[in-house]
Amino acid sequence: MIWVTWRQQRTETLIAALLLGLVVALLVPTGLHIASVYDSEGIAACVAKPSLDCGGQLDQFVSRWDSLVNAVGWLNLVPALIGSLVAMPLVLEFERGTFRLAWTQSVTRDRWLAIRIALIVGTCVAAAALLTGLMTWWRGPLDDVNGRFDGFDFEGLVPFAYTLFAAALVVALGVVLRRSAAAVGLAFVTFIALRVGIATWARPHYLAPLHETSTTGPAGLALRDAWVFTERGDLRTAAGTPVDPLAVRGCLTDPGAKRLDNACLDRHGIVETLTATYQPGSRFWLFQAIEAGMFAALTLALLAFAVWWIRKRIS
Amino acid sequence: MVSGMIEFRLSARSGVPTYLQLVQQVRQAVRLGMLQPGDQLPTVKTVVGSLAINPNTVLKAYRELDREGLVEARPGQGTFVSRALPPTPPGDYARLQSALLDWIRRARDAGLDEDDVAALVAATLQAVAAREAA
Amino acid sequence: MSAHPVVETRGLGKRYGSRWALRDCSLEIPAGSVTALIGPNGAGKTTLLHMLIGLSRPSAGEVRILGRSPREQPALVLPRVGFVAQEHPLYRSFTLAELLEAGRRLNPRWDAELATSRVTRLGIPLSQKVGRLSGGQQAQVALTLALGKRPDLLVLDEPVASLDPLARREFLQGLMEAVAGEGLTVVLSSHIVAELERVCDHLVILASGGVQLAGPIDEILGAHRLLTGTRRDPGAVARIDSVIRASHTERQTMLLVRAERPIADPSWQVDEVGLEELVLAYLEQQAGHAAPEVGRLELAS
């Protein structure tokens, strides 16, 4: 049965392999380049001992790759693409009615279903392993500087969960709709909506975020290995009470500017404080487990539903 | 020994049951000398493969021929013609035909038309066959 | 050949929501027979066939194939039953050779030589993609897949419905050869009666979700007669079991009746009934919800 299943998904497997090949072709040269710049500019040493000058260098290093990182952001769709390609052949069996052929050979329907789902899961895991390994390596230098949270979507456990979730979504929609195109389309929309929604509104709150305040300006916040979501600047007196910004109009470097002269502020006993809300890098794996767990639970629910539907409604 | 010496042809509209058509065609083939004693009849598989009919129909026909003694079934080998059917001597044939003509004239005089005559002949043949089978 | 029926159903029924698609089906199909399942579209033929092979779960009653329940013991039933679904679904992107290989891998009792020689004899190229074959060739391939596992029972759902006359003839030729060679039991459904008469020796008429008539064709034809005579009330005819269809003109009455004993009444012209006419009469009866009781011939064989 394994041979038959592989032969059935020959086209989808080739497309998936092509897709992964493109990803490799994109990431390997660029990753090597990032790594070499990291080495040649001695960033590693800077990371080990942060100092003011070095901070600027680190920021420069990271922002140098901004556009590349943005482009790589599109790879967030890859788990959905892989999941769809892996799940599609199963949906096609129901769309084309060949399940009636498959279920009347000598393999029982339950065994057939178990093997098909196992193959889908196995393929998703393998593809996700390749992607995760590659992306973790690619982001190595960036993660060293700013911590792993920036690459949360691509590292650790969640890529496995995303890929499995996409596949399960296509399977569940496919067995109900019995139309592979509609199932994949709907699955994509749902996948994107859920991923964006959870990353934006749920992820920051898996654990109550921490706050840190510094009176010596941004550099005082040694928040490198962290996921910082808000930074709020405040003007306070030495005693800690808030100061009306209008009151220090006189300290503007020039009337139209938004910058304040530090020396002037010092004379007035006013300090600029910065409060950051963040998740520390030490929570990376915990957050990974939580989010992967959520998507894994959804995956299980979708697969259980699909199996139930097949057993109750299609037969 | 060559099988498939004769080919069967079925007429869907003749009103004669399929197996009887096969029986008649074998008899005709033997009478005309196309099948000689010792020749093998086409296998059931061959016949159904060309006519697309139920194998039981062929078996029924061959059983009927076996019953008449025209063929014999040899287990594991097939069904073979066991005797010849001599053609009717021309003299007998002419005599029978003239007797038939007389009878037809009498039937016509009695008021029977062509269809009545044919129906009467068919019914009588059937009755004879039924009595012989009993 | 075993004396036990290959297929046995008792009170078999299938319900979708509140609607019964099939109700109270009790049948016995003997070994070695070729049974025609005849009925109009929507009568429940596909539903019944799917329950026979375990593709569908009965809502009521039970079914036994070769003595076993296809839902409870599929691992034992499936290898012995060959099935060709409506529209003969196949993996169309496979080449014929690959499809036969799939048959080999999915069926422990696969006879590769039988399958390959069959398609070769039919002139279907092994290297051709299945999707590119003609309708008739695809039907033959589907039949080959079903025959390749050397089943004891073959179930076909409208196997020749979409085929042209030549392809239809070739399909039935191949099917009959397989029956002659392997001693197969066959159940095939159709909504066209004419071509089945030569091929089938048993009959099941399905209409309005129920079995209207079932039995060996010879016996059924022997038990029905067409009576023609002067205009009269059908109730007044002696020695018949039931009237299937009655039609009257001003002067004449024609009755299609079921009668186990010969009708000796000389005021009737008694004729045999053709299979197609008989089936139509039973179907008309269902369609018109006519009064005469339906003869539920349970088949003895």
Cα of A305 to nearest chain C Cα, Å: 19
User: What does residue C104 show for φ and ψ, rounded to 5 degrees?
Assistant: -65, -40
Q: Does the global pTM surpass 0.80? A: yes
**Complete DSSP assignment for A37-56:** HHHHTTHHHHHHS--HHHHH
Interface test with chain B among C176, C193, C196, C221, by most B beta carbons within 10 Å: C176
User: Does the pLDDT at position C296 exceed 50?
Assistant: no
Binary contact (A106, C81; C-beta < 8 A): no
Which residues, 6 or more positions from A176, have their beta carbon under 8 angstroms from its beta carbon?
A309
At residue C290, the pLDDT reads 43
Binary contact (C81, A104; C-beta < 8 A): yes
Q: Which of C107, C180, C183, C177 is nearest to C145 (CA)?
A: C107
- Answer whether A8 touches C (CB < 8 Å): yes
For the record, the structure tokens of A141 come out as 């230098």
CB pairs under 8 A between B and C: 45
At residue A79, the pLDDT reads 95
* Among C55, C92, C106, beta carbon nearest to A107: C106
User: Does the pLDDT at position C293 exceed 80?
Assistant: no
At residue C242, the pLDDT reads 85
Per-residue pLDDT tens over the stretch B88-122: 677 777 888 889 999 999 999 988 888 888 888 88
At residue A216, the pLDDT reads 62
* Among C173, C181, C201, beta carbon nearest to B52: C173
| Residues facing C37 on adjacent strands | C189, C204
* Among A4, A97, A315, beta carbon nearest to C105: A4
Whether the complex's predicted ipTM is more than 0.90 is answered with no
Q: Tell me the chain C residues in contact with residue B58 when contact means C-beta distances shorter than 8 Å.
A: 180
Interface test with chain B among C35, C160, C187, C198, by most B beta carbons within 10 Å: C198
Per-residue pLDDT tens over the stretch C59-118: 999 999 999 999 999 999 999 999 999 999 999 999 999 999 999 999 999 999 999 999
Binary contact (C176, B48; C-beta < 8 A): yes
User: Does the pLDDT at position A64 exceed 80?
Assistant: yes
Q: By CB neighbour count within 10 A (0-12 exposed, 13-18 middle, 19+ buried), where does A115 fall?
A: middle
Binary contact (C89, A101; C-beta < 8 A): yes
Q: What CATH number belongs to B18-81?
A: 1.10.10.10
Binary contact (B48, C198; C-beta < 8 A): no
Looking at chain C, the whole-number percentage of residues with pLDDT higher than 90 is 55
Q: Which helix (H) or strand (E) holds A278?
A: strand A270-280
Average pLDDT over residues C260-278: 83
Q: What CATH number belongs to C7-207?
A: 3.40.50.300
DSSP E strand boundaries for chain C = 7-16, 19-29, 34-38, 60-65, 81-84, 153-157, 185-190, 202-207, 210-216, 224-230, 242-248, 252-258, 269-272
At residue C295, the pLDDT reads 36
Q: Which of A105, A120, A103, A96 is nearest to A172 (CA)?
A: A120
At residue B90, the pLDDT reads 72
Q: Report the SS3 class of residue C248.
A: strand
Q: Which chains touch A (3 or more CB pairs under 8 A)?
A: C
One-letter amino acid identity for C125?
P
Binary contact (B44, C34; C-beta < 8 A): no
At residue C287, the pLDDT reads 73
For the record, the structure tokens of B70 come out as 């025209």
- Answer whether A7 touches C (CB < 8 Å): yes
Domains of chain C by residue range: 7-207, 218-287
Q: Which residues does C contribute to its contact with B (CB < 8 Å)?
A: 34, 169, 172-177, 179-181, 198-201
Interface test with chain C among B48, B50, B115, by most C beta carbons within 10 Å: B48
Which residues, 6 or more positions from C82, have their beta carbon under 8 angstroms from its beta carbon?
A104, C145, C146, C147, C149, C151, C153, C154, C155
Binary contact (B48, C174; C-beta < 8 A): no
CA dist., res. A116 & res. A36, Å (int): 44
User: Does the pLDDT at position B27 exceed 60?
Assistant: yes
Binary contact (C145, A101; C-beta < 8 A): yes
Q: What is the CA radius of gyration of chain A?
A: 26
Cα of C59 to nearest chain A Cα, Å: 12
CB pairs under 8 A between A and C: 65
Question: How much is the mean pLDDT over chain C?
Answer: 87
Q: Report the SS3 class of residue C54.
A: coil
Number of alpha carbons in the 13 Å side-chain half-sphere of residue C50: 21
Cα of B115 to nearest chain C Cα, Å: 15
User: Which of A:71-130 have CB within 8 Å of C?
Assistant: 96-98, 100-109
Binary contact (C176, B53; C-beta < 8 A): yes
The Cα-based distances of A16 to A7, A87, A173 in angstroms read 14, 12, 21
Per-residue pLDDT tens over the stretch A229-257: 877 777 777 676 777 666 666 676 666 66
- Answer whether C186 touches A (CB < 8 Å): no
| 8-state DSSP, A311 | I
CB A80 within 8 A of CB A131: no
Cα of C57 to nearest chain B Cα, Å: 32
User: Does the pLDDT at position C225 exceed 50?
Assistant: yes
Cα of C188 to nearest chain A Cα, Å: 16
CA dist., res. C279 & res. C213, Å (int): 9
Per-residue pLDDT tens over the stretch C190-221: 887 877 888 999 999 998 888 989 999 989 98
Question: How much is the mean pLDDT over chain A?
Answer: 87
| Residues facing C249 on adjacent strands | none
CA dist., res. B68 & res. B90, Å (int): 24
Cα of B71 to nearest chain C Cα, Å: 20
Q: Which helix (H) or strand (E) holds A210?
A: strand A210-214
CA dist., res. B53 & res. B63, Å (int): 16
* Among B43, B45, B54, beta carbon nearest to C199: B54
